[in-house]
Amino acid sequence: MNAVLSTAPTAMKISDLQTGFRILSRLPLANAQQAQVEINNFLDCLLQSPPAGDVYLQLLEQTRISLCFIEEELARQYTSKALPLGDTEDAAFRQVVATWVKASHAYAHCAQLQNAQDDDGDAAERLALILHRCIYYTGMAVIEHHRARRELPRGMWLDLHGFYASAEEWGVATLAVPDSLDPLGRSTHCTAAFVSLLLSELAGPYSLNVRELGLVRRWANSWSPLVTVHSVVAGEPLPPSVVDLMKDAGLCASRDCLQTENVRRVDSGRLAMQINQTRQQLRERISPAQLGLGEDCTASQCQRLLARLARPWALLRATRQFRRHVTTGKSKVCAGFAGMHYYISGKEFTQPESARVYSRDEFDRLFAFRHTLDPTQRLDVRQTQVGFAVDEWEVLDQSATGFRLMRSTAGRRIAPEQLLSICPHDGSAHLLAQVVWLMQEQGGGLIAGISALPGKPQAVAARPLAQEAAHSEPYSRAFMLPAVPAMASEQSLVIPQGWFHSGRLLEVYVDGVWRVRLDRLLGDGPDFARVSFSVT
């Protein structure tokens, strides 16, 4: 990396369009890391020795497509990764965020030069375009924090509010500007860019996977013009949620806003109607592509995500099924099927005797110590159990079905939607749980929302049923969850990811061998599937 940096020019001056276009045309887009260095050097040159205002703006506009391509390529290094990020992943994240912020600063710098020029008939359009780009690039820094599941740094929302407030002040907040990144060639405006970020924040980004985040971002950009932002009229009642331009947050509770001159109302009524209409059209079997939702998503994926977005995007408070209460204590958390099975069963996993195949090492040990074994006891190859690591998490609050936990950087990496076992601070048995949302704080610690799977788990052994008995696979670790009528939860199996398809037959060893047929997928994650079943 140092060698790459040393090859980049450091004292280059870009004074005309031809020089700038020539540099941009030579960007090595096939090598994202090298292209990142060169486009950052290009932006640095503009910031240090700015050309004339109109040249500056045209050069910045010319970078848009290449810049977004380069940052998207680099972002692959840290999206969908377990937390905390490794050193290489963290470095890529910081590079991408710094580049988005630098691009925003370059446009803001360009605005200062534009204001210094003589006014003309195109001044309003130029100012609207510059402020839109400032909002867009600062917003991309926000989006990268969402995709990397990192806590936003202080001041980022205040920067966004400042750019939007400037657009309001200059009367260009809804003035149309071209958008070369829009796949349909549609124009946009500052308010739409600002609203799309509010919608992304309302979607609960730390609980969405990368595919869902991409869909949310696409839909937010497409539907943000349906949402309007208004100043507050003195004396009028405020809705529960508003934007306070002096607070470092997106939407906030109106009860916390003391000065209404900085408060903005957000009207999402037309967006709520659009979501309801789209959900109805999906039920009528109109494809997502025809509805403009995208060609890379299925109707069922869109239905699930739209159902999840309907309330927050209509600015309605989400209902909580179980009350959450603050508590303190340390909970023990284990990841991985082997460790979870060990702590839930209380013993090391062994193949059931009906399927037991001893290794050469185990056979040698059995032969060597055959005279000292008690024939009346069950045969155990190893009397000492192998321990599995658990991490201690501090409990911040909990409900009947979930926990909000916090942990320092020490401990195993944890992935979104991963299966865990948790021994609550006030309990002695491990429960199965899934990571619902996950965020890494600025200081490096992790905060996670954990949802317990219903019922007390039982550690079992399972294997796909072979077509021929001679080719039976060894048993693998699995779990059985009982039916919980109070939660409308049926009996289910938790099996490794990739095992499920409807109608598949498994052998499950509990106290004896069960033959079961898999029925429906009830939930899943990167390492497991929870399925309903029937005994055959």
Model pLDDT for residues 38-97, shown as the tens digit of each residue: 999 999 999 999 999 999 999 999 999 999 999 999 999 999 899 999 999 999 999 999
pLDDT tens sequence across 137-192: 999 999 999 999 999 999 999 999 999 999 999 999 999 999 999 988 899 999 99
Q: Any idea how long the chain is?
A: 536
CA–CA dist 468, 282 (Å, integer): 43
Query: Is the alpha carbon torsion for 491, 495, 501, 503 positive or negative?
Result: negative
Question: Does residue 484 belong to any structural domain of this protein?
Answer: yes
**Number of domains within the chain:** 3
Q: What is the pLDDT of residue 143?
A: 97
Q: Give the DSSP H/E element, type plus range, for residue 75.
A: helix 53-75
Question: Which pLDDT tens digit goes with each residue over 241-296?
Answer: 999 999 999 999 888 887 788 999 999 999 999 999 999 999 999 999 999 999 99
How sure is the predictor about 357, in pLDDT bands with cuts at 50, 70 and 90? very low
Q: Residue with structure tokens 């320092």? A: 408
Are 59 and 131 in a shared domain?
Answer: yes
- 419 within some domain: yes
- Residue that is written with structure tokens 């109070």 in the block: 486
Banded pLDDT at 319 (limits 50, 70, 90): low
User: Looking at residue 66, what is its pLDDT?
Assistant: 97
Cβ–Cβ < 8 Å for 433, 452: yes
Q: Residue 488 domain-assigned?
A: yes
Q: Last residue of a domain, which of 452, 482, 504?
A: 452
pLDDT score of 121 more than 70: no
Asked whether residue 512 falls in the same domain as residue 391, the answer is no
Q: Are residues 205 and 338 in the same domain?
A: no
Q: Is residue 452's pLDDT more than 70?
A: yes
According to DSSP H, which parts of 477-524 are helical? none
Looking at the fold, whether 342 and 406 belong to one and the same domain comes out as yes
Considering the domain architecture, whether residues 169 and 187 belong to the same structural domain is answered as: yes
Interval 121-143 mean pLDDT: 94
More confident residue, 284 or 363: 284
Does 518 lie in the same domain as 416?
no
In angstroms, rounded to a whole number, what is the distance separating the alpha carbons of residues 154 and 134? 18
Confidence at residue 370, expressed as pLDDT on a 0 to 100 scale: 43
HSE-CB at 425 with a 13 A cutoff on CA atoms is 16
Range of lowest pLDDT (235-244, 249-258, 323-332, 433-442): 323-332
Are 404 and 496 within one domain?
Answer: no
Same-domain pairing of 107 and 161: yes
Higher-pLDDT residue of 297, 411: 297
Residue 380 pLDDT greater than 50, yes or no? no
Instruction: Convert the pLDDT of each residue in 420-432 to its tens digit.
Output: 999 988 888 999 9
Q: What is the pLDDT of residues 467-511, one digit of tens each?
A: 655 457 899 999 999 999 988 899 999 999 999 999 999 999 998
Percent of the chain with pLDDT over 70: 88
Query: Would you say 228 and 194 are in contact if contact means Cβ atoms under 8 Å apart?
Result: no
Which of 210, 225, 256 lies at the terminal end of a domain, its last residue? Answer: 210
Question: For 358-372, 405-419, 517-531, which range has the lowest pLDDT when averaged over its residues?
Answer: 358-372
CB distance 51 to 83 below 8 Å: no
pLDDT tens figures, 93-111: 999 999 999 999 999 999 8
pLDDT on residue 115: 53
Of 193, 210, 227, the position where a domain reaches its end is 210
Other C-beta atoms closer than 10 Å to the C-beta of 243 total 24
Instruction: Say yes or no: 494 and 417 in one domain.
Output: no
pLDDT class of 409 with cuts at 50, 70, 90: confident
pTM for the full predicted model: 0.87
Does 141 fall in a domain? yes
Instruction: Work out the average pLDDT over 213-238.
Output: 92
pLDDT at residue 382 in the model = 40
Whether 117 maps to a domain, the answer reads yes
Q: What is the pLDDT of residue 369?
A: 44
More confident residue, 498 or 366: 498
Q: Which domain holds residue 184?
A: 2-210
Given a cut of 80, whether residue 204 has pLDDT beyond it is yes
CATH classification of the domain holding 416:
2.40.10.220
Rg (CA), the chain: 28
The pLDDT confidence band at residue 418, using thresholds 50, 70 and 90, is: very high
Are both 64 and 196 inside the same structural domain? yes
> Does residue 440 sit in the same domain as residue 517?
no
Backbone φ and ψ for 448, nearest 5 degrees, come out as -135, 145
- The residue with tokens 């409807």 is 502
Helix, strand, or coil (residue 232): coil
Is residue 461 within 8 A of residue 381, CB to CB? The reply is: no
pLDDT of residue 251: 93
Query: Which distant-in-sequence residues (6+ apart) come within 8 Å of 456 by Cβ?
Result: 429, 431, 481, 482
CA-CA-CA-CA torsion sign (85, 88, 92, 95): positive
Please indicate, yes or no, if residue 175 is contained in any of the structural domains: yes
Residue 419 has what pLDDT? 97
Q: Does residue 306 fall inside a structural domain?
A: no
80 Rama class: left (phi>0) / alpha (psi -120 to 50) / beta: left
Smallest CA-to-CA distance from 27 within 93, 57, 58, 71 is with 71
Q: Are residues 192 and 71 in the same domain?
A: yes
The predicted-structure confidence for 109-120, as pLDDT tens digits, reads as follows: 998 887 544 456
Look over the chain and give the mean of its residue pLDDT values, rounded to a whole number. Answer: 88
Closest CA to 224 of 182, 170, 285: 182
pLDDT score, position 359: 45
504 inside domain: yes
Q: What is the mean pLDDT of residues 197-209?
A: 96
Confidence of residue 355 (pLDDT cuts 50, 70, 90): low
Q: What is the pLDDT of residue 374?
A: 44
